[in-house]
Structure 1
Amino acid sequence: MARIGRFRNEAARAEYLRTYAAMERLWPLPSAVSDVPTAYGTTHVRCSGSGAGLPLVLLHGFGGNGLYWHDVVEDLARDRVVVALDTVGSAGRSVQTAPLGRDADYGAWFAQVLDGLGLDRAHVLGESLGAWHATLMALHAPDRVASVSLIEPNGVFTRTPARALLRMLRFGANPTDQGWHRMREWLTPGTDPTDVELACMKAAQGYRTAAGWARPLKDAELAAITPPLLAIYGAESVLSEPEAARRRLATAVPGAEAEIVPGGGHGVRGQVPGQVGARVARFVGQHDNSVPAER
């Protein structure tokens, strides 16, 4: 049975919201926040930037929220509005009231968020688990997606290595401070999260997530992706198989672009935010006038 995400108790919720409020100070741009009602609950939205380009929707990874894009938002918002979401079913300021039990529900949720914001179409950028959600939107709401950019979409085009999943499960069973340090060194080497970001990540463990998990898409599903697609990988990622994913994309999604960043890990955006932000901004700008997919 599909679950509804929730905090374990009121104390966990209060601690998370305290760290969330501290993280808001990292956001470098003026922003407007709102809570958009959908059939799956209210979605917390943060909008920044302006310009003639189509809006860009940001989808965070596991354990994150929309504020974790603070290091690249200035690059992304130079000529368009950027819309950072707290994904329903994840820790954040969104409140889930109904399960996202099917893949198609993510497309429906996305369409309802755009409706609530008065938007017809938008570009979508997702990282890690957010890349899975972004892929589902490209599959199930293609007429609303101008392009889809994926950062470290582990488990989407190739399987996540079993040894990596086992290591993450072991960490989740006993998340000590020493374990956090070892996990960051292994999973996202070369990144340097602030104390505030780390506190928010730890507080997110007080939330019972219901945001789903990625699975490798079937060939027919890949062939059905119509929006322009960019995938960015870290060459040394422990969760992805970048070269295998690039080969599969080249065969199954003609025209898709795949970039592998030398020396990058799963946290490639945090390692080289300027490079990743500029690459996505360039790709998005090239597809502002893309033709909507026919359903």
Structure 2
Amino acid sequence: MSTSKTFVGLFLIILLAGCGSSKETKFEDYVFKTKSDKQNYIASYDKALKLYEIPYTEEDVKTTFGIAHVIIAGPKSGKDLVLLHGMDASSTMWYPNIKTLAKNHRIYAIDFLMEPNKSTLTAKSLSSEDIVVCYNEIFNHYKLKKFDIVGASRGGWIATLLAVQKNNSIDKIVLLSPAQTFKFIDKPRKTSSALLLKLFPSEKKFSKTLKTFSTHPEKISSIYNRQFYLANKYAKSNSSMLKMTPFSDKELESIQNPVLVLIGDHDVINSEDSLERAKKHLIHSKTETIKDAGHFLSIDQSQIVNDKISDFLQ
């Protein structure tokens, strides 16, 4: 068994062991442990959202599995662009990118139902099939057709999942270090800091995790940092990441869309092997490694990433 698969197995065992404490409270929420935790987190989310520094609106969309929170920005006449955030990052993570992306696109940044954010999950958990149904319900609500999509980390995996479905309405795709999409985690031992943070949150572990995933943690806004830390401190552990397995050659080859894949040269989730597999099996792909960037490349090198996404989408 590979090191990555062994790590994933340990991840499952520890996460399931950590889920038992949720029964100690009468507060019933799939993501947050207590009502107070949720309130504190939402307050930090609202502060971080102001980092967008452009006009936006917030809407809630009812789906089969709960209420999806969507942030909308950009000109109504712009081409539709869906943004799918990384694990526990929420849609506020796009604050270094939103101004550029919203110049020519109508933005729909969607909070994933199974993570700490403003969406509310009413189901126990979502299968891959459920995720597809949920997002298609949101797309249908907004009547999105031939829209572009940008997904980061887990959001990149979800974007790929949506793209391999027949009769989807996606046009161009941008994957920013998509997790578990082309291969399992590249450096599982280094990413263990994120697992320990989730199970035993502390400011010290959080700082170590940022240094693992980012080449320039000093660039991350302290306001956003606080929200991201609370997401790990207050949220219940869950094993949803374990359902994310790399896509098969056949699945990747079924994607006919233009696809841009970007990873950082210090990424702990992906490596050049990921890009090679993308080149081989994504028929209309463009791949590139961003220098001096980690897994958080949209923050580490935001201007470079913004320019490359804009050039690709236009």
Matched residues, number? 282
Shift of 1:209: 6.0
Give the whole-Å Cα distance in 2 for the aligned partners of 1:246 and 1:284.
19
Partner in structure 1 of residue 240 of structure 2? 212
Q: CA deviation at 1:245?
A: 1.2
> What does residue 271 of structure 1 align with?
300
| SS of aligned partner of 1:104 | helix
- Separation in 2, partners of 1:178, 1:207: 18
> Is the 1:123–1:284 Cα contact (8 Å) retained in structure 2?
yes
Aligned-pair CA distance for 1:279:
1.1
Asked whether the equivalents of residues 164 and 239 of structure 1 are also in contact (C-alpha less than 8 Å), the reply is no
Q: Can you list the C-alpha shifts for 1:120-170, whole angstroms capped at 9, x where unaligned? A: 332111111111111111122652211221101132102203323434323
**Does residue 1:162 correspond to 2:188, yes or no?**
yes
Match of 1:239? 269
Correspondence for 1:29 = 54
| Counterparts of 2:130 and 2:270, CA distance in 1 | 25
Question: Is the 1:91–1:209 contact (alpha carbons within 8 Å) kept by the matching residues of 2?
Answer: no
Aligned to 2:116: 91
Does residue 254 of structure 1 match 2:283? Answer: yes
- State which of 205, 230, 233 in structure 2 corresponds to 1:179: 205
**C-alpha displacement of 1:39:** 0.7
CA distance in 2, matches of 1:211, 1:112: 24
Find out whether 1:126 has 2:151 as its counterpart.
Answer: yes
1:185 maps to a residue whose letter is K
Higher relative contact order (CA 8 A, sep 6+): 1
Q: Is the 8 A contact 1:57 1:123 kept in 2?
A: yes
Which deviates more, 172-181 or 39-48? 172-181
Q: How much does 1:45 deviate?
A: 0.9
Alignment of 1:34-73 (within 5 A): 34-50=59-75, 52-73=77-98
Identify the residue that residue 24 of structure 2 maps to in structure 1.
none
1:264/1:210 CA distance change after superposition, 3 Å: same
1:195 lines up with 2:222 in the alignment:
yes
The one-letter code of the counterpart of 1:247 is: E
In structure 1, what residue type is equivalent to 2:221? T
My pick for the range that moved more, 12-21 or 177-186, is 177-186
Change (3 A) 1:109 1:154: same
The DSSP-based 3-state class of the residue aligned with 1:68 is helix
Relative distance call for 1:249 and 1:123 in structure 2 (3 A) is same
- Report the Cα offset of residue 96 of structure 1: 0.8
Return 5+ residue gaps in structure 1 as ranges: 286-295
- Runs of at least 5 residues in structure 2 that lack an aligned partner in the other structure: 1-18, 20-28
Deviation track 1:95-140 (CA, whole Å, cap 9, x = no partner) reads 1112553223222211110111232332111111111111111122
C-alpha contact (below 8 Å) 1:223/1:252 kept by paired residues:
yes
Q: What is the TM-score normalised by the length of structure 1?
A: 0.89
Ranges of 4+ aligned residues in structure 1 off by more than 6 Å: none
**CA contact under 8 A between 2:266 and 2:293: conserved in structure 1?**
yes
| TM-score, normalised relative to structure 2 | 0.84
The alpha carbon displacement at 1:210 in A equals 5.6
Determine helix, strand or coil for the equivalent of 2:298: helix
Kept in 2, the 8 Å contact 1:107–1:139? The answer is no
**What secondary structure, in the 3-state scheme, does the structure 2 residue paired with 1:57 have?**
strand
Partner of 1:228: 258
In the TM superposition, residue 5 of structure 1 has moved relative to its aligned partner by 3.1
* Whole-Å separation in 2 of the counterparts to 1:45 and 1:173: 28
**2:199, 2:118 → 1: CA distance?**
25
Give the CA deviation at 1:11.
1.1
Whole-Å Cα distance in 2 between the matches of residues 57 and 122 of structure 1?
7
